[in-house]
Structure 1
């Protein structure tokens, strides 16, 4: 009995201590986004959450093992064990839903509706009100854009624009890319149309059948998994439209129309069909996976391709590290002959149907929100985007941030960026876009002083040849599109629009490859077979849905 009494007394003391400890857990929020947080009055109980990133591959580490992550850990007591997607996103998320076993935090990318339908995510409204005031302030103008039908918030998107929008001087979105050596060999010609572009690379390929002992590949493309949009979106861009997803939006009527079976798509596939027939198309384009695609670009033997700049950054880094400027890729604003101007550059936009969420598996979700709330302060965002003042960037007399050549070289080192935490926190977390309250760009790459200094001699050679100061100046300025991007419009799981997307995606994957690889004499038959199958779907209903949603956004209704 005495031992039992001692046990009960000890247990009571333990519970009291735990309660006091929980009561003492706190984080000190900044009064504004520009000041450093004070240390918490009491030591925080440490906690590690499982963070699964389904949007992009990466290195699986713990956030506290980075410089920035350690700072946040000291302030909040929170650490995340990162896990990145390997394989098919649909299969991985489907397995989670089927088993009901989730990570604590997830970036589900396009599978957000699947998790919402499974009721796997918790509402964040009360947590944000109590622990996330910095987040609410940053997203104040956008909250209505990502509330769900029940009026609640279940995920935090990335990148609200605060203060002033700062355009990117370089190309990180869609473009037709070509090796610098190809342009130099041709005397830096003006390339505007698809025909001019293809003639350029074919001419070079025929004169250079091998590059570094490997067979030259004139043109390739990315068709793997969910990234297939990098192939199917091309007709839209060639027609002079930005990336609104599977529809084009009329600038006057704001009516949506599909383009998968349009004359633009037919002409794009015809060009590829001719490339294939003449041996100028990558024979593995429709079977290689994402890693194989990046490896092929990194090899230096691919002359041209279409893609979004953010998708092949690893390949660009590998080529740069190899040290042959002729193999570097330059972005060109290619359109069909007769199209007035390109629209590759994105207008100011906010994507509300992607983001980061907390699942029902998370214990103490308030700790997660406290971490996010600290991360999104101006102080922490400067560390994430710029590093430490006088070490990774400098400030001139006017208060403008800039980088010396030595600082720039350090921040281009991917191992350093990983260890510091920049690659960990620069995306897939609550974060800011635009400019700091002092007018400096939040992202260093958007700061004009940094962009101009960053250009290497061979890049300056290209810019000088085309009479521009930045690569973005080679492209037309974007027209204002208050609905943009239309692909961010939420489509409910199981809805007619969702069913259309699933079925049309299957048709495009199956038929586009057959059309491109067909004997040219069979091109028309293959195209007609596709159109017949595609038009059997509810195309009109899908277009009407987007027309209604886009027109609502134009009227300020999200």
Structure 2
């Protein structure tokens, strides 16, 4: 088991200095005479996030939250999802017991249909100059098609020049670097090559620290993460993450991933590796914490996932300091003739957003907080932190990490929670992640070339040199333009035939895909045929027609 090797004394000193710095008037971004006229009396609101993997806390218990509280008087009781999001949303709706604010993470249409959110148009007009500045160009894409009103503030309103990530923040087939090193850093492109390499390594190294080496692991047992089993089929076929569909770039016609030859090919490959003992049998039973612990253990050779889902494991492996046990992202496809499209093109998502509920005690105060949060100096605070403490600025005005202590506050899991990066970098009204600040710096530190260059370890550099590249994203093809992207943001009315199709389709996949994967290879075709017999009873054609219609409307500029 690889454990983080942390120097607690130095970190304690760092945290003390950070907290002390935040109590100083000189480190209060956003303060202005106009702000002093607002009601800054103490108040605490409730904020529920339909995202998991974070500990419930008060915003004021973080450095960022405390700083924002000093500016506004507002504190937040932040609560995160435990269990299934659809179930939690259903309970909220049935009881009518809503917090002041909800970040939807995919439950937006259900909550909207239930009347959980209030319209924000008048509040924005009266109290939201910064909201209008950030979201103004996107207002037409944010309006509810039923009444033309704005109910929530999304997280993808990119500002300035588009700033792509030098590293891979999305989906990939990840492989332990020791596997690549063992075979002198080969170039592998196809799914067969990927699993052949893992199989060869596992044969040579059957155990790690006395425990069995795990060839490949999935997070498919966690209800809200089942898409990590569904999505690889589209990526292997050369499509980005458009959700449950693959959209032709020329005709703009959408077709489901479920029930296709692409899905069959992917699931059959998992059946084959399972029969060889390469697939972790707990892939369909363990929870997310157990999954992340396995990735951190050094026993897992490969997995498919999105980088944002495994951030804590990545940080812990980095802190442990053993580069060979860290993972490298690979753009794996079915056949070498396929052009990978793992990296997302620029897009706008309007249904993963934050809204004020009908139970909110003081919507005016809340919208003012959000407006203050969207000042550029506060957007810098939630991403970069405090100048000269968590980042520095060079003579050219470029942001960077001047030392290991600055870098550590961003990379270490517990320090990130204490400072607030873990809590404030997502699930709040914010600039889109690919934004550029007004001075040309990247909004996201992970997109800043100076930061990326300084954070590469000797192991990173050795890997990049072996493949003749300067950043990990150079392993991947650049994204093609997709004006509709992402299709998974298309809102489906609750109870509509299309929404019913997605629910029943997902239910069938949850039932049959694990059975296909874990069963004997001789039974695969029979189970696939049983699955398709049930799947073909669903209105796939109606669903594809609807998604195609919305995609083509978006291409025409109609959102």
Task: Give the CA deviation at 1:35.
Answer: 6.4
- Kindly state the Cα deviation for residue 416 of structure 1 after the two structures are TM-superposed: 2.9
Q: Can you list the C-alpha shifts for 1:477-520, whole angstroms capped at 9, x where unaligned?
A: 00011110000011111111100000000001111111111211
Could you say which residue in structure 1 is the equivalent of 2:410? 411
Question: Do 2:399 and 2:441's aligned partners in 1 also have CA atoms closer than 8 Å?
Answer: yes
Answer yes or no: is the 8 Å Cα contact 1:179–1:303 preserved in 2: yes
Determine if contact 2:30/2:372 at 8 Å carries over to the other structure: no
Write the distance in 1 (CA, Å) between the matches of 2:57 and 2:51.
16
Which residue of 386, 389, 400 maps to 1:391?
389
1:50-109 CA distance string (max 9 Å, x none): 111122231222112222222222222211111111122222221111111111111121
1:69 aligns with 2:65: yes
Q: Distance in 2 between matches of 1:474 and 1:329?
A: 14
Correspondence for 1:213 among 210, 214, 218 = 210
Following superposition, the deviation at residue 245 of structure 1 comes to: 0.7
User: Residue 225 of structure 1 corresponds to which residue in structure 2?
Assistant: 223
Asked if 2 retains the 8 angstrom alpha-carbon contact of 1:410 and 1:416, the reply is: yes
Mapped pair 1:313 → 2:308:
no
Shift of 1:341: 1.1
Partner of 1:12: none
What is the 5 A alignment of 1:269-418?
A: 269-406=267-404, 407-418=406-417
SS state at 1:341 partner: coil
1:39-78 counterparts in 2 under 5 A?
Answer: 39-41=35-37, 44-78=40-74
Of residues 424-433 and 458-467 in structure 1, the stretch that sits farther from structure 2 once superposed is: 424-433
Kept after mapping to 2: 8 A contact 1:159/1:430: no
How many Å apart are 1:43 and its aligned residue?
Answer: 6.1
CA contact (8 A) 1:248 1:259 kept: yes
Find 2:75's aligned residue among 73, 79, 93: 79
SS at structure 2 position matched to 1:142: helix
The one-character-per-residue Cα deviations of 1:177-207 (angstroms, maximum 9, x if unpaired) are 0001111011000010001100000100111
Other-structure match for 2:112? 116
Q: Match of 1:262?
A: 260
Tell me the CA shift for residue 530 of structure 1.
1.1
Alpha-carbon distance in structure 1 between the residues aligned to 2:506 and 2:416: 37
2 CA distance for matches of 1:131 and 1:511? 51
Alignment match, 2:489: 488
Q: CA deviation at 1:371?
A: 0.5
Look up the match of 1:429: 428
Three-state SS of the structure 2 residue aligned to 1:162 is coil
Alpha-carbon deviations, 1:422-445, whole Å to 9, x = none?
A: 222111000113111111101111
Deviates more, 1:516-525 or 1:464-473: 516-525
| Aligned residue number for residue 185 of structure 1 | 182
Partner of 1:106: 102
Structure 1 residue aligned with 2:167: 170
Distance 1:36 1:446, change over 3 A: farther
In structure 1, distance between residues paired with 2:337 and 2:223:
30
Partners of 2:170 and 2:343 within 8 A in 1: yes
Q: Which residue of 2 aligns with 1:146?
A: 142
Looking at structure 1, the residues matched to 281 and 412 of structure 2 have their Cα atoms a distance apart, in angstroms, of: 34
Structure 1 residues 44 and 410: CA distance shift in structure 2, 3 A: closer
What is the alpha-carbon distance in structure 1 between the residues aligned to residue 336 and residue 413 of structure 2?
Answer: 42
Equivalent of 2:248 in 244, 250, 258: 250
Query: Quick one: distance in 2 between partners of 1:61 and 1:378?
Result: 25
Q: Structure 1 stretch 293-302 or stretch 67-76: which is displaced more?
A: 67-76
Superposed CA RMSD in Å reads 1.4
**Corresponding residue SS for 1:388:** coil
Work out whether residues 168 and 445 of structure 1, in 8 Å CA contact, stay in contact via their aligned partners in 2.
Answer: yes
Alignment match, 1:478: 479
- Larger Rg computed on CA atoms: 1
Calculate the TM-score normalised by the size of structure 1.
0.92
Q: Secondary structure at the match of 2:47?
A: strand
By how many angstroms is 1:360 displaced? 1.1
Alpha-carbon distance between aligned partners in 2 of 1:551 and 1:357, rounded to the nearest angstrom: 28
- Tell me the alpha carbon deviations over residues 276-323 of structure 1, each in whole angstroms, 9 at most, x when there is no partner: 111111111122222221122122111001111100111112222333
User: How much has 1:41 moved relative to structure 2?
Assistant: 4.0
Scaled by the length of structure 2, what TM-score is found? 0.92
**Deviation larger for 509-518 or 60-69:** 60-69
Question: Among residues 239, 242, 264, which one is paired with 1:241 in the alignment?
Answer: 239
The corresponding residue for 1:5 is none
- Provide the C-alpha distance between the structure 1 equivalents of 2:485 and 2:291, rounded to a whole number of angstroms: 29
More displaced stretch, 441-450 vs 293-302: 293-302
Match of 1:440 in 2: 441
Give the count of matched residue pairs.
Answer: 525
- Residue 455 of structure 1 corresponds to 456
Unaligned runs of 5+ in 2: 1-28
- Alpha-carbon separation, structure 2, partners of 1:454 and 1:252: 40
Verify the 8 A CA contact 1:162 1:436 in the aligned structure 2.
Answer: yes
Aligned-partner SS, 1:356 = strand
Kindly indicate whether residue 89 of structure 2 is the aligned counterpart of residue 96 of structure 1.
no
